[in-house]
């Protein structure tokens, strides 16, 4: 971590200026000097929960007695929590009865391995990956260890950048594929599928696998219409805390003869489904938090109402960007593919001095997480992530600041 921070500081100030004090905002600090109640977390994840959910969690700890942090996962008290979380997740996301809700460890990266290990029995089995950004590329690269991968490349052939989603031609999807994989929201690249694609008629037998880590609960899912076989989401962006992943698996893909013999039990969908999510100790507290978040979503009108909120939040920032006369830029021109969850933007084409000034001034006002440390370095764009924990009012505060900053610095 220290070496990564060092590289970022070098990128910001240059090697000859290492004695210059670096403002915390420029190395990804989330601890603003603004009053704590005014902190707005725009991090790409982990991120904050809605305030009402945080209050519910606090109330659980304040009432005394054992909490889910200490409950045995086989106790009747925790089984009640688990049953509720699965039931309310099914209800809010309208998950059909022929799908299992499985809670797993390992985050999204764990699922990059779990998917091919569960759906490909042999190393020679074929899987097709749509690669239209950073995370689908990482998922594809991990799968290459366990199966024979074919790639539908979504890069712009002239620039080499990911700025769109490729058309799904019948000829590009091998009919022998055990699954077709996509990431529905590429957080780094700012590309989102607002609806999952429908496969060509001759390829409808191929199960769709969806990495929905950053957009789960932000829009409805047509489970059967899109032929979803597996959808997974790590909890730490929209539904909870790091350390838990939900995998929603169609039951016809389960079976003792389906997975690779190399698949570890902790990642095996069939093993964990048959054990009722209790094959090994699950993340008990995290599961309870997911249930509280789903309760909050239901009380707020369900997933359809949440999609409306997501649209309003995203439009609030994109309107500022599009009306800034070039002061702000965003990499995805196709408005039908712009992410509602993660809005990348630069300032004056990436002007370093203005970018640093923007980060410092916004951080001082309590708007944090617009630049965080990542495995990919600083990147060309800042990002405002608008997950469930960010309200429309908080988004408007950032929009107002962006407008004011542009007027002062144009």
Q: What is the pLDDT of residues 183-195, one digit of tens each?
A: 999 999 999 999 9
How far apart CA 82 and CA 209 sit, in angstroms, is 25
- Tens of pLDDT along 309-357? 999 999 999 999 999 999 999 999 999 999 999 999 999 999 999 999 9
**CATH class label, 66-299:** alpha beta
How far apart CA 326 and CA 384 sit, in angstroms, is 18
Token pair 């929009």 is at which residue? 399
DSSP state of 260: -
pLDDT for res 15:
46
Please say whether the beta carbons of 9 and 18 come within 8 A: yes
pLDDT for res 20:
62
How far apart CA 250 and CA 282 sit, in angstroms, is 21
Residue 11 has pLDDT above 90, yes or no: no
CATH tag, 2-50+302-409: 3.90.1150.10
The mean per-residue pLDDT over the stretch 194-211 comes to: 96
The mean per-residue pLDDT over the stretch 199-215 comes to: 97
pLDDT for res 6:
44
Question: How does residue 7 score in pLDDT terms, banded at 50, 70 and 90?
Answer: low
Residue 228 has pLDDT above 90, yes or no: yes
The mean per-residue pLDDT over the stretch 131-153 comes to: 97
- Tens of pLDDT along 360-394? 999 999 999 999 776 666 778 999 999 999 999 99
Catalytic annotation, pick one of 56, 178, 211, 313:
211
pLDDT for res 213:
97
Catalytic annotation, pick one of 56, 178, 219, 237:
237
pLDDT for res 13:
47
Tell me if residue 135 is catalytic: yes
Q: Chain-centre distance of CA 180, in angstroms?
A: 19
What is the secondary structure of 139-195 as a DSSP string? Answer: HHHHHTTTSEEEEEE-S-TTT----S-----GGGS-TT-S-EEEESEETTTTEE-SS
Average pLDDT over the chain, rounded to an integer: 93
Where in the sequence of the chain do the CATH 3.90.1150.10 domains occur?
Answer: 2-50+302-409
How far apart CA 86 and CA 195 sit, in angstroms, is 24
The mean per-residue pLDDT over the stretch 140-156 comes to: 96
The mean per-residue pLDDT over the stretch 194-217 comes to: 97
Please say whether the beta carbons of 307 and 220 come within 8 A: yes
Question: How does residue 51 score in pLDDT terms, banded at 50, 70 and 90?
Answer: very high
Where in the sequence of the chain do the CATH 3.40.640.10 domains occur?
Answer: 66-299
How far apart CA 206 and CA 175 sit, in angstroms, is 7
Catalytic annotation, pick one of 135, 223, 296, 363:
135
% of residues, the chain, pLDDT over 70 = 94
pLDDT for res 375:
66
Q: Which residues pair with 343 in a beta bridge?
A: 384
- Tens of pLDDT along 69-94? 999 999 999 999 999 999 999 999 99
Residue 159 has pLDDT above 90, yes or no: no
- Tens of pLDDT along 232-282? 999 999 999 999 999 999 999 999 899 999 999 999 999 999 999 999 999
Question: How does residue 1 score in pLDDT terms, banded at 50, 70 and 90?
Answer: very low
Residue 14 has pLDDT above 60, yes or no: no
């Amino acid at each position: 971590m220290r070496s990564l921070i060092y590289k970022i500081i070098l990128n910001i100030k240059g090697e000859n200026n290492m004695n210059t004090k670096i403002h915390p905002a420029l190395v990804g600090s989330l601890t603003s000097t603004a009053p704590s109640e005014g902190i707005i977390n725009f991090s790409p994840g982990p991120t904050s929960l809605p305030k009402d959910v945080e209050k519910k969690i606090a109330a659980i700890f304040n009432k005394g007695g054992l909490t889910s942090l200490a409950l045995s996962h086989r106790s009747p008290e925790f089984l009640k929590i688990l049953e509720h979380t699965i039931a309310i997740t099914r209800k809010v996301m309208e998950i059909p009865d022929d799908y299992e809700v499985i809670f797993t460890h390992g985050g999204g990266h764990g699922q990059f391995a779990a998917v091919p290990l569960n759906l490909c029995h042999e190393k020679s089995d074929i899987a097709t990956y749509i690669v239209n950004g950073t995370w689908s590329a990482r998922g594809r690269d991990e799968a290459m260890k366990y199966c024979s991968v074919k790639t539908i490349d979504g890069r712009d052939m002239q620039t080499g950048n990911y700025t769109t989603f490729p058309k799904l031609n019948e000829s590009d999807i091998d009919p022998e594929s055990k699954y077709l994989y996509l990431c529905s929201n590429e957080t780094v690249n700012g590309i989102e599928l607002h609806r999952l694609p429908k496969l060509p008629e001759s390829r409808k037998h191929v199960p769709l696998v969806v990495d929905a880590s950053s957009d789960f609960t932000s829009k409805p899912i047509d489970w059967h219409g899109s032929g979803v076989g597996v959808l997974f989401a790590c909890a730490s962006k929209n539904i909870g805390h790091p350390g838990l992943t939900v995998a929603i698996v169609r039951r016809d893909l389960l079976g003792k003869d389906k997975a690779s013999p190399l698949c570890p039990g902790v990642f095996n969908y069939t093993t964990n489904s048959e054990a009722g999510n209790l094959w090994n100790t699950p993340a008990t507290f995290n599961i309870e938090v997911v249930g509280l978040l789903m309760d909050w979503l239901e009380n707020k009108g369900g997933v359809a109402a949440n999609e409306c909120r997501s649209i309003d939040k995203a439009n609030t920032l994109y309107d500022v960007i599009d009306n800034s006369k070039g002061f702000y830029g965003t990499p995805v021109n196709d408005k039908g593919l712009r992410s509602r969850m993660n809005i990348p933007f630069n300032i004056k084409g990436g002007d370093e001095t203005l970018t640093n000034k923007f980060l410092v001034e916004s951080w001082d006002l309590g708007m944090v997480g617009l630049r965080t440390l990542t495995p990919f370095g600083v990147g060309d764009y800042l990002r405002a992530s608008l997950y469930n924990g960010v309200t429309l009012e908080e988004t408007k505060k950032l929009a107002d600041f962006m407008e004011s900053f542009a007027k002062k610095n144009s």
